Amino acid sequence: MEVGIYIRDYLEDPTRPMHEQIEEAAEVCRRARSLGFSAIYMPQHFIAHPTMWMQPMQMLARLAPDAEGLRLITGILLLTYHNPVDIADQVVTLDHISNGRFTLGVGLGYREKELAAFGTNRKDRVSRMEESIALMKQLWTGDEITFEGKHWQVHEAKCSVTPVQKPHPPIWMAAQSRGAVRRAARLCEAVVIGPQPTWEDFRYLAKEYNDALAEYGKTPQKMLAANRSITIAKDRETAITEAKAKGEAKAGMYAGFNMQETTTVDLGLAGQREIPDWAVAGNPQDCAEIISRCVEEDGLDYIGLASLNLPHDFSAKLEYLQLMSEELLPLLPP
């Protein structure tokens, strides 16, 4: 069982200079491996004021020397916004910076403002995603290629450097719909089920993914991952109470981003769900039981955890990580 840290939790305070927060995130990375964590992950959004979103590739490159032994994951890079030739070279660069510890997590994106700013739209997202992945995989071979697609055309192109990981760094695809989990099964090394679905919908998506793997004959080569929210404290009542305000704020933010779509499962953005319905919530034993059930019943291989009750003070944040290290992680399946 691999467990990652949502490093943006340490990079979202609008009242403090960002360079100070980056140094604190670096300290978290320096401690994370010895505390039993296996990865850090960083998301992507644009023009999202007043919320703060540092860019994932650059942030992971900055943190790589401090994150020795940890996997670096974009969680999630909005691939449909970008030129895949540029992203292919950025991936190679970060794979070498991290000595082969990079994972490319990708998603479609959904905010109309962002899509328009990058010259695209909802209608073209899936074809851009699939085409971009196909083109990047060809570039990563190191062969000279010509690619004639609907969105991208490349003639007699050859990457000067190929990835450390062969044939390329793992590609994980974010999914909160049946179509997306099936797409991930077909194209990528893993699916990443997002934090918003209820546990009931998580199980539904996991089953759809596992069924698709069996249908495509790819079960042994693929993995099931999830990025989920956690609220952990010495007792269940405290954990849930402390998470309430941030849980409502997250629902409000994503509702403002118009994240809910007709094709996705219910993301609960009306803010009416109870915290335990969709988050890892409770004391360490409670949280371990929730995660372990996903491992045993759904085949979960990796979970990234974003905190709903992370303290404001940095020393208290480190104590929070210590709590997870000492009282949660040892209870999880190996």
**107 in a structural domain:** no
**158 in a structural domain:** no
What are the tens digits of pLDDT across the range 30-53?
A: 999 999 999 999 999 999 999 999
**199 in a structural domain:** yes
Q: How far apart are CA 28 and CA 22, in angstroms?
A: 10
Mean pLDDT (whole number) for 116-137? 97
Q: Are 285 and 238 in contact (CB under 8 A)?
A: no
Mean pLDDT (whole number) for 170-187? 97
Q: Are 69 and 83 in contact (CB under 8 A)?
A: no
Query: Per the structure block, which two tokens stand in for 117?
Result: 């700013």
**153 in a structural domain:** no
pLDDT at 232: 98
CA dihedral (277, 281, 286, 288) in degrees, to 10, reads 100
**314 in a structural domain:** yes
- Residue 8 DSSP one-character state: G
What are the tens digits of pLDDT across the range 129-154?
A: 999 999 999 999 999 999 999 999 99
Bridge partner list, 242: none
Output the domain CATH number for residue 284.
3.20.20.30
User: Which residues lie below 8 Å from residue 11, measured CB to CB, with a gap of 6+?
Assistant: 18, 21, 22, 25, 52, 54, 59
pLDDT at 294: 97
Q: How far apart are CA 235 and CA 239, in angstroms?
A: 6
pLDDT at 251: 84
Domain that holds residue 318: 170-334
pLDDT at 190: 97
Lowest model confidence (mean pLDDT) among 58-72, 164-178, 246-260:
246-260
**31 in a structural domain:** no
- Residue 334 DSSP one-character state: -
pLDDT at 249: 86
Check: pTM over 0.85? Answer yes or no. yes
- Helix (H/G/I), strand (E/B), else coil: 125: helix
Number of domains in the chain: 1
Asked whether the predicted pLDDT for residue 272 surpasses 80, the reply is no
**103 in a structural domain:** no
Q: How confident is the model at residue 321 (pLDDT cuts 50, 70, 90)?
A: very high
What are the tens digits of pLDDT across the range 43-101?
A: 999 999 999 999 999 999 999 999 999 999 999 999 999 999 999 999 999 999 999 99
Q: How confident is the model at residue 255 (pLDDT cuts 50, 70, 90)?
A: confident
**113 in a structural domain:** no
